[in-house]
Amino acid sequence: MSSIFSKIIQGEIPSYKIAETEDFYAFLDINPLAKGHTLCVPKKEVDYIFDLDDDTLSGLHLFSKRVAKALETCITCKRVGVLVIGTEVPHTHVHLIPFQHEAQMAITSLKLKVEKEEMEEIAKKVSDKFLEMN
């Protein structure tokens, strides 16, 4: 059975898309720790990040860097933090979190309630910036 992230990549489930390449996809986390919290995923469905082949693993990090550069120009933050956990969704994903306070990097912290309109606004701003920078 396809993971929820494969369904998002295939457009079967909607997402606030940030960026897409042939091999990778980025979209806003539905329960963000900070505004602009983004997930970067390989289209190839592999549960555990360290089971990825070397090209996909390095490609995922380079893609995440490009997304982070777009995020940090659009969202006011101290810096973009990187987190990999993967216990909830068995499809490798890198969390990019534009944090203002270190506590926002804890996955157990309270999630923000961001309205649909604002999620759409953030996604448009960051995805436009990603296209402009790449």
d(CA 132, CA 134): 6
- The nearest distance, CB 83 to ligand 5GP, in angstroms, is 7
108 binds ligand 5GP (CB under 6 A): no
Active site residue 93: yes
Contact residue for ligand 5GP among 3, 4, 52, 124 (CB under 6 A):
4
Q: Which of residues 37-66 bind ligand 5GP (CB under 6 A)?
A: 39
Count the residues in the chain. 134
- The nearest distance, CB 13 to ligand 5GP, in angstroms, is 6
The region of 45-53, 55-63, 81-89, 96-104 touching ligand 5GP under the rule CB under 6 A is 81-89
* Helix (H) or strand (E) run with residue 67 in it: helix 54-74
The region of 22-30, 49-57, 62-70, 123-131 touching ligand 5GP under the rule CB under 6 A is 22-30
Q: Can you say how many angstroms the Cα of residue 45 is from the centroid of all Cα atoms in its chain?
A: 15
Q: What is the DSSP code string of 26-49?
A: EEE-SS-SSTT-EEEEESS--SSG
CA distances from 23 to 44, 62, 74, 114 (A): 7, 12, 24, 29
Residues found near ligand 5GP in the complex (CB under 6 A): 4, 15, 27-31, 39, 85-89, 107
Q: Give the active site residues.
A: 93
